[in-house]
Amino acid sequence: MTLSACRAPTLQRHKQMTSQELFDLLGKSFGDKIRRKTEFRETTFTIAADDLREIANFCRDELSFDYLLDITSIDNFGEEPRFEIVYHLYSMPHGVHLRLKLKVPDESGTVDTVSDIWPTANWHEREAYDMTGIKFNGHPDLRRILMWEGYPYFPLRKDFPLEGLPSEMPDIAFTKVTPMEGGPFVTVPSTAGSKDREPRARSPEL
């Protein structure tokens, strides 16, 4: 039995397309809405935050990018606009990866949700909100997911200290500043032996 005969019915609906065909179709359909196309082993399309839902719907329905692998949020501290979001897509039928990247507008600090397009985005967006404070318009349940409700900071922002800040919610949780003497433990990239590359307490310059 050949591999194609084993495929599930849903996967046979589509004609197998190469990544080149898929990306050409995406570029042709949206033209100037694609700000930039970057090739580095995998392909990244930079888009505007306003076009996200339109392009996401097209990617899922027309190009069968049916799997949202992950959502990454980046804090480019000191730049304008500050936050960036990356959507990592995968097409099960075509076996192709695609990244959509956008800058979060500083004035609103919000992006439209894609949790109705890919339900898995629900928790990913909650995590991005919890760690960096980016808000998602139309999210059905935008609460913190790792830290507790009422924690006053966004800990993965670059201006948040690694050792944390004190906070207090009686009977729920508290945090203290962590002593950092002797740490953090870092390794030095080199061709030296494992003894030298072992993570140790080193000054940050090394």
Distance CA 87, CA 134 (A): 14
Nearer to other proteins by C-beta: 87 or 154? 154
Residue closest to 65 by CA, chosen among 114, 7, 112? 114
Instruction: Choose the stretch contacting other proteins; rule: CB under 8 A; options: 52-60, 68-76, 113-121, 176-184.
Output: 176-184
Nearer to other proteins by C-beta: 48 or 174? 174
Is 180 near other proteins (CB under 8 A)? yes
Task: Find the binder of other proteins among 141, 163, 196, 198 (CB under 8 A).
Answer: 163
Task: Find the binder of other proteins among 148, 158, 198, 200 (CB under 8 A).
Answer: 148
Is 174 near other proteins (CB under 8 A)? yes
Nearer to other proteins by C-beta: 163 or 198? 163
**DSSP secondary structure letters along 185-206:** EE---SSS-HHHHS-EE--TT-
Residue 47 CB contacts under 8 Å (≥ 6 apart), including other chains: 30, 33, 34, 35, 55, 100, 101, 102
Is 165 near other proteins (CB under 8 A)? yes
Residue closest to 62 by CA, chosen among 21, 8, 33, 113? 21
Is 159 near other proteins (CB under 8 A)? no
Task: Find the binder of other proteins among 9, 78, 179, 193 (CB under 8 A).
Answer: 179
Closest approach of other proteins to the CB of residue 148, in Å: 6
Surface-to-core class of residue 53, CB atoms within 10 Å of its CB (0-12 exposed, 13-18 middle, 19+ buried): middle
Nearer to other proteins by C-beta: 1 or 162? 162
R_g (Cα) of the chain, nearest Å: 21
By the criterion CB under 8 A, which residues form the site for other proteins? Answer: 146-148, 153, 155, 160-165, 171-176, 178-180, 183-185
